[in-house]
């Protein structure tokens, strides 16, 4: 990539590097002054990091390609020789080429001074596109959520029918309200049971000098079975307006207001139960956004600055009312001794940088090549996060990390060498910013095959700064499909979740995390609930993740976070992890590696029906088009996209990767023909246009499919899937999104 003549004026030359003016001005004018960092010295030191780390970044990507080529050749030779698959021979081959590494001796991570939200609390975790200010604020504020709103406004409780003699109050259904109250009271009986009776029969809550008193309808005055579950209150002892409790480390509030329409329905006057919900949030610079040029990157960094300085706001229009959304203040209470104390009003925020693959035109080298975007993110997001460590008057009490840490999630790492590289990069950034060693804490996304099969070695490389490991089923599947592309045809996509490798993958992540001492120091996480409108199903199924020992699991919305928080009251993750750790054995852990390397091939004796094949093609194609057209035309990196059955699913690049690689695999091995796929693309383009017809910003693909950039991008992702680096979709998406932006800019200038 070279700067064209028209674009040269948009760059500033510094020490043989060209820095895009928007980035240069943003850093110099908005970031550095409040940190008392001199601009010229900062840029010289920052650019030295690019000079040092760019060559190794390039070399690590070359290693990926070299390993992939060797694996392809091995599978081709096996198929050519008609050899039955030999798992032990395959494992030895992967060891010989350096794909599998020797595991280190047993160790325990030494990460220190970690915030309680990560080290000691278990709860929901939000992942949100930082490029969207409204979503970023919603996620940061999702630390506390209304259980009543979450139950009333979703399918968590089956919709009731208003009887003929009932009149809704301004759209409020009293019958449904009663069901919500009953559900919440059952939760209270589970989380803070009474010595006698039930919260269902409570008519009043008061406070004595020593404890919370619960007055029942039969005249009995009882107390909590665990008196220490009561923490504090707002209001007076005789008429508290808010009561604060704790269970399994998570707080929740009872709001009492007998004048409120819901409080009027409850004999005790409870108008809401507010749960501590999204304990942590990942503000995402990666898979869920579409940042393809320096203007996009600056917008992302500005939002991160707004969160770290506390000034980020967004005007929101909801149900005809306009208001300003901003970061929530802390919550204040009194204890029974009259002492004031506070709890944070916000989720603890991680920042997810990009991986090693992509580059950014925000800075160009002396050869006019874009720099590695992951290095840029490490420098810029850490620089901005310095505001959270400073006593800056713009921040006030809106602190993120009480321990003064910077929490960076690093995705898409392939094996321990790339983890080591990332740790060394963070060390260099700490030196640049004059930070103590290991201030930058690292989260590892265990979502690539070479990381999952070498997880112990990866954890070892980050043992002094690790605070997070997390499975990612979709990316892990996408990498499985690409890595094993030449091995044969894979099972249908819907069957992947029952495959031996996936079951081992999810169990091994927890087992290895516990063996390496993450309990009490770091999160062990699980993946996303993808259907935000299906909360009843989530309440039934997602409890499996805390039961498996995961201390956090991803949710798609603040509402989902509030409902998923119920699972962490039902399950003590600390107790689960202790029980699982006691069951671990070295032999059992070593057995996981072979299962992780089991390739999910279709049984050679199995014949898929024409209907099965057609459904698989249509399902994949519709998902690809539905996501790509919004990414390319609208710059939306993550959204709820209707699937082929019109069920809204949260889609990001991980879902695109698996769908495109799966079709590519079936094309390669003759399960489907190119003409079948093209016919499905044409047919599904009409479906996607219909599904988006109500969106005024949507541009239909229509009949000009040959010239539609979004449609052609989908075609490239499928038909050129084997040529995409590790099956990633970013290179094509970025290039074609830039093309659309250039067209739009040209049209605006006419």
Contact, 130 vs 285, CB < 8 A?
A: yes
Do 404 and 331 lie in a common domain? Answer: yes
Q: Which residues contact 6 (CB under 8 A, 6 or more apart)?
A: none
Output the average pLDDT for the chain.
94
3-state SS record for 637-671? CCEEEECCCCCEEEECHHHHHHHHHHHHHHHHCCC
SS3 145: strand
Asked whether residue 601 is assigned to any structural domain, the reply reads: no
Domain membership of residue 213 (yes or no) is yes
pLDDT digit string, tens, across residues 552-609: 999 999 999 999 999 999 999 999 999 998 887 655 777 788 899 999 999 988 999 9
652 is catalytic: yes
Indicate whether 319 pLDDT > 90: no
Strands (E), 66-211: 123-129, 144-146, 202-207
Query: Mean of the pLDDT values across residues 172-194?
Result: 96
In a domain, 97, yes or no: yes
Higher pLDDT, 2 or 572: 572
Residue 154 in contact with residue 562, Cβ under 8 Å? no
Selected residue with higher pLDDT from 581 and 162:
581
> Residue 84 above 90 pLDDT?
no
Residue 207 lies in a domain: yes
Same domain, 557 and 630: no
Question: Given 64, 331, 352, 389, which residue is catalytic?
Answer: 352
Please tell me whether residue 701 adopts helix, strand or coil conformation. Answer: coil
Indicate which CATH number applies to the domain containing 621.
Answer: 1.20.1220.12
Tell me, yes or no, whether 585 and 648 share the same domain: no
Beta partners for residue 72, in sequence order: none
Residue 166 lies in a domain: no
Confirm whether 165 is domain-assigned: no
Is residue 138 domain-shared with residue 150, that is, in the same domain?
no
Question: Does the pLDDT value for residue 122 go beyond 90?
Answer: yes
Q: How many CA atoms lie within 13 A of 350 on its CB side?
A: 31
Write the CB contacts of 333 (distance below 8 Å, at least 6 apart in sequence): 231, 232, 233, 234, 242, 244, 340, 341, 342, 343
Q: What is the pLDDT of residue 583?
A: 84
| CB-based contacts of 445, cutoff 8 Å, min separation 6 | 409, 410, 411, 412, 413, 451, 469, 470, 472, 475
| DSSP label of 401 | -
Judgement on whether residues 35 and 117 belong to the same structural domain of the protein: no
pLDDT above 50 (res 163): no
Q: Is 388 labeled as catalytic in the residue annotation?
A: no
Contact criterion met (CB below 8 Å) for 280 and 523: yes
Only one residue has tokens 């800019």, namely 745
Helix axes 610-634, 674-691, angle to 10 degrees: 50
Please check whether residue 466 is in contact with residue 451, taking contact to mean a CB–CB distance below 8 angstroms: no
* 303 CB-side CA count, 13 A: 26
Helix (H, G, I), strand (E, B) or coil at 231: strand
Q: How far apart are CA 71 and CA 209, in angstroms?
A: 71
Considering the domain architecture, whether residues 185 and 207 belong to the same structural domain is answered as yes
pLDDT at 129 over 90: yes
Rounded to whole angstroms, how far apart are CA atoms 384 and 32? 9
Last residue of a domain, one of 61, 87, 113: 87
Residues 240 and 309 in one domain: no
CB 515 within 8 A of CB 589: yes
CATH number for position 543: 3.20.20.360
CATH classification of the domain holding 254: 2.170.170.11
**Which residue, of 276, 297, 316, is where some domain finishes?**
276
Q: Which residue among the candidates 361, 652, 657, 737 is catalytic per the annotation?
A: 652
pLDDT in tens, 637-663: 988 888 888 888 888 899 999 999 999
Residue 244 pairs with which residues in a beta bridge?
232, 253
CA distance 602 to 536: 33
pLDDT at 341 over 90: yes
Pick 646 or 371 by higher pLDDT.
371
Our count of domains for the chain comes to 4
* Distance, C-alpha 165 to centroid of its chain: 46
* Residue showing tokens 């998902």: 623
Asked if residue 655 and residue 576 are part of one domain, the reply reads no
Is 532 a member of any domain? yes
Return d(Cα 431, Cα 126) in angstroms, integer: 31
Asked whether residue 556 falls in the same domain as residue 459, the answer is yes
CA distance 651 to 528: 10
Give the domain-ending residue among 565, 596, 627: 596
Range of the domain at 313: 88-143+279-596
Rg (CA), the chain: 27
Q: How many angstroms separate the CA atoms of 136 and 743, rounded? A: 29
Average pLDDT over residues 109-133: 98
Contact status, residue 157 vs residue 163, Cβ threshold 8 Å = no
Give the 3-state secondary structure of residue 595: helix
Split at pLDDT 50, 70, 90, the class of 161 is: very low
Which tokens in the block code for residue 126?
A: 């939000």
What percent of the chain has pLDDT above 70? 96
Residue 1 has pLDDT above 90, yes or no: no
H or E element in which residue 612 lies: helix 610-634
pLDDT digits (tens, 9 = 90+) for 467-524: 999 999 999 999 999 999 999 999 999 999 999 999 999 999 999 999 999 999 999 9
| pLDDT of 746 strictly over 80 | no
Do both 330 and 470 map to the same domain? Answer: yes
CA atoms of 235 and 438, how far apart (whole Å) = 43
Q: Is the dihedral of CA 464, 465, 467, 469 positive or negative?
A: negative
- In this structure, are 246 and 360 located in the same domain? no
Question: Are 566 and 620 part of one and the same domain?
Answer: no
In a domain, 381, yes or no: yes
Which residues make Cβ contacts (< 8 Å) with residue 408, sequence separation at least 6? 350, 351, 352, 353, 378, 381, 382, 426, 440, 441, 442, 443
Intra-chain end-to-end CA distance of the chain, in Å: 26
Q: How far apart are CA 129 and CA 50, in angstroms?
A: 26
């Amino acid at each position: 990539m070279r700067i064209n003549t028209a674009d040269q004026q948009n760059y500033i030359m510094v020490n043989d590097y060209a820095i895009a003016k928007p980035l240069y001005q943003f850093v110099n004018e908005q970031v550095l002054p409040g940190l008392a960092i001199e601009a010229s010295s900062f840029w010289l030191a920052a650019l030295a990091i690019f000079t040092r780390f760019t060559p190794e970044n390039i070399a690590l990507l070359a290693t990926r390609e070299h390993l992939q080529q060797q694996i392809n050749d091995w599978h081709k030779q096996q198929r050519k020789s008609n050899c039955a698959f030999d798992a032990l021979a395959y494992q030895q081959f992967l060891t010989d080429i350096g794909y599998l590494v020797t595991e280190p001796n047993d160790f325990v991570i030494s990460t220190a001074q970690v915030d309680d939200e990560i080290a000691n609390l278990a709860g929901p975790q939000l992942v949100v596109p930082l490029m969207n200010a409204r979503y970023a604020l919603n996620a940061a504020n999702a630390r506390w959520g209304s259980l009543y709103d979450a139950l009333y406004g979703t399918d968590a409780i089956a919709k009731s029918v208003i009887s003929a003699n009932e009149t809704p109050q301004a759209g409020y259904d009293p019958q449904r309200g009663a069901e919500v109250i009953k559900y919440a009271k059952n939760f209270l009986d589970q989380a803070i049971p009474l010595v006698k009776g039930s919260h269902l029969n409570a008519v009043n809550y008061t406070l004595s000098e020593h404890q919370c008193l619960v007055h029942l309808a039969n005249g009995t005055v009882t107390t909590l079975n665990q008196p220490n579950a009561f923490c504090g209150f707002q209001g007076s002892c005789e008429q508290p307006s808010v009561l604060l409790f704790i269970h399994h480390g998570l707080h929740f509030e009872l709001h009492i207001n007998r004048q409120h329409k819901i409080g009027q329905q409850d004999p005790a006057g409870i108008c809401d139960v507010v749960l501590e919900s999204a304990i942590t949030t990942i503000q995402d610079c990666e898979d869920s956004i579409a940042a393809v040029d320096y203007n996009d990157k600056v917008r992302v960094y500005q939002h991160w600055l707004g969160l770290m300085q506390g000034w980020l706001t967004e005007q929101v229009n909801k149900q005809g009312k306009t208001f300003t959304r901003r970061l929530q203040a802390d919550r204040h209470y009194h204890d029974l001794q009259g002492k004031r104390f506070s709890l944070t009003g916000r989720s603890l925020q991680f920042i997810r940088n990009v991986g090693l693959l992509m580059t950014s035109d925000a800075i160009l080298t002396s050869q006019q090549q874009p720099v590695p975007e992951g290095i840029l993110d490490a420098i810029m997001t850490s620089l901005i996060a310095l505001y959270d460590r400073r006593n800056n008057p713009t921040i006030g009490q809106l602190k993120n990390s009480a321990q003064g840490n910077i929490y960076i999630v690093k995705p898409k790492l392939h094996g321990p060498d790339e983890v080591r590289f990332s740790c060394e990069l963070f060390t260099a950034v700490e030196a640049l910013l004059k930070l103590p060693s290991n201030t930058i804490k690292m989260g590892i996304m265990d979502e690539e095959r070479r990381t999952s099969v070498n997880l112990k070695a990866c954890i070892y490389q980050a043992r002094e700064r690790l605070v997070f490991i997390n499975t990612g089923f979709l990316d892990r599947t996408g990498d499985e499909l690409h890595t094993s592309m030449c091995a044969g045809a894979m099972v249908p996509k819907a069957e992947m979740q029952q495959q031996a490798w996936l079951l081992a993958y999810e169990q091994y992540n927890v087992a290895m995390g516990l063996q390496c001492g993450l309990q009490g120091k770091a999160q062990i996480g699980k993946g996303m609930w993808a259907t935000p409108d299906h909360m009843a199903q989530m309440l039934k199924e997602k409890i499996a993740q805390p039961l498996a020992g995961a201390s956090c699991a991803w949710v798609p919305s603040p509402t989902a976070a509030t409902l998923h928080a119920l699972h962490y009251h039902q399950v003590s993750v600390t107790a689960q992890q202790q029980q699982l750790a006691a069951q671990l054995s070295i032999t059992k852990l070593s057995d996981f590696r072979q299962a992780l390397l089991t390739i999910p091939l279709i049984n050679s004796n199995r014949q898929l029906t024409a209907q099965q094949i057609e459904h698989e093609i249509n399902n994949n194609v519709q998902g690809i088009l539905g996501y790509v057209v919004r990414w390319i035309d609208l710059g939306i990196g993550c959204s709820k996209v209707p699937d082929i059955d019109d069920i809204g699913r949260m889609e990001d690049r991980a879902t695109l990767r698996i769908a495109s690689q799966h079709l590519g695999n079936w094309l390669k091995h003759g399960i489907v023909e190119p003409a079948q796929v093209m016919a499905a693309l044409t047919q599904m383009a009409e479906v996607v246009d219909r599904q988006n017809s109500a969106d005024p910003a949507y541009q239909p693909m229509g009949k000009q499919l040959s010239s539609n950039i979004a449609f052609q991008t989908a075609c490239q992702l499928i038909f050129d899937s084997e040529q995409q680096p590790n099956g990633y979709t970013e290179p094509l998406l970025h290039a074609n999104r830039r093309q659309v932006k250039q067209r739009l800019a040209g049209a605006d200038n006419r």
